[in-house]
Every structure is written in structure tokens, then in C-alpha cells.
Amino acid sequence: MGLNIQAEPSYEPPTWPEQPGQQGKMLHFEIEVDDVAAAVERAAAAGATQASWQPPDRDPTTLRIMLDPAGHPFCLWSDD
């Protein structure tokens, strides 16, 4: 399996959370981790940031939405 990522000169970062009439996410990774807090720290060290909006109905110790440096959201989650 491969994953090819390509730059786009007219790129516009997605809006999170998604909103009508705004650029939506183009991909979305759900990454299962053993320790969400440790994974957040590791992702941040690699250039990601925590999204300002987090689902209010989810426990932040089991799910965090992050944004990669280009603004794409991805989830770090654990079922613990």
C-alpha cells in the first residue's frame, strides 16, 4: 500500500469544524494510540497543533482532534 501526497498551488486550508460554503477537509485520518496525551505531544513536536474546536461530548483523554501543518484535521483516539 502506498500514500502519495502532492502540493497544490491553489491550496486553501480546510475549515474545522466544517461549515457550509467553506473549504472542507480533503482527507481524514483516525489514528488509534495507546496514550492520547503522549500522542498529542509527539504530534505537536512534529508540527501539528490541537484544533481549537473539540467535540464537547467526547472525553479529551480518549479523543483529540489535531491539525497537520497544512491545516488538515486528524484524530488521535484510544478506547481506554
Nearest C-alpha neighbor of 80 from the set 41, 47, 39, 44: 39
- The H or E element containing residue 41 is helix 36-45
pLDDT, averaged per 10 consecutive residues of the chain (80 residues), comes to: 78 88 85 97 97 94 94 91
Q: Which CATH number fits domain 29-77: 3.30.720, 1.20.120, 3.30.70, 3.40.50?
A: 3.30.720
- pLDDT at res. 8: 80
How, if at all, do strands 63-67 and 49-50 pair? antiparallel
- pLDDT at res. 24: 85
Structural domain spans, the chain: 29-77
User: What are the phi and psi torsion angles at 34 (to 5°)?
Assistant: -80, -35
Helix (H/G/I), strand (E/B), else coil: 72: coil
- pLDDT at res. 51: 95
